Amino acid sequence: MGSASSLLTQYDIEEVQENCNYLFSQQEIVALYERFCQLDRNAKGFISADEFLSIPEFSLNPLSQRLLKITDGLNFKDFVAFFVCLQPKSFLPAEDWQVLVHLLNEAGYTRDASLLLDDFIKILSKCNMKMEVEVPVD
């Protein structure tokens, strides 16, 4: 493993796995950590908006300014939690979407409201839904 992954202990990996309900393997967490370290150019322990914008796919996304509101300043654990909330095909059964929309409305969110990452994670946890994301592992 490279120098970045050597800073991640077995305990850290297991803690992150537990935090994300074991949706990522240890190998995927190490790969995410290596990518996190690449983005965290000044080794501050968090990723700034400018660093997120250095990702071409992110900066070209028409929703990038909205996404920056929830991604600016993410530490590694929050970085992984952000990916837990994503799904490669954005597929949820219709009943799960209805529950999610209902919970968002109950929480006071409208179409025009900005959703904070912590709130999004809490709302998803109330739904008992699992979303998947694929992490390429070299």
Average pLDDT per block of 10 residues along the chain, 138 residues long? 63 90 88 92 89 83 79 87 67 67 76 73 66 53
- Asked if 93 and 32 count as a contact pair (C-beta separation under 8 A), the reply is no
Domains parsed from the chain with CATH numbers = 3-127 (1.10.238.10)
Torsion-angle region of residue 10: left (phi > 0), alpha (psi -120 to 50) or beta?
A: alpha
In angstroms, the CA 63 to CA 59 distance is 9
Query: For the whole model, what pTM was predicted?
Result: 0.59
pLDDT of residue 59: 80
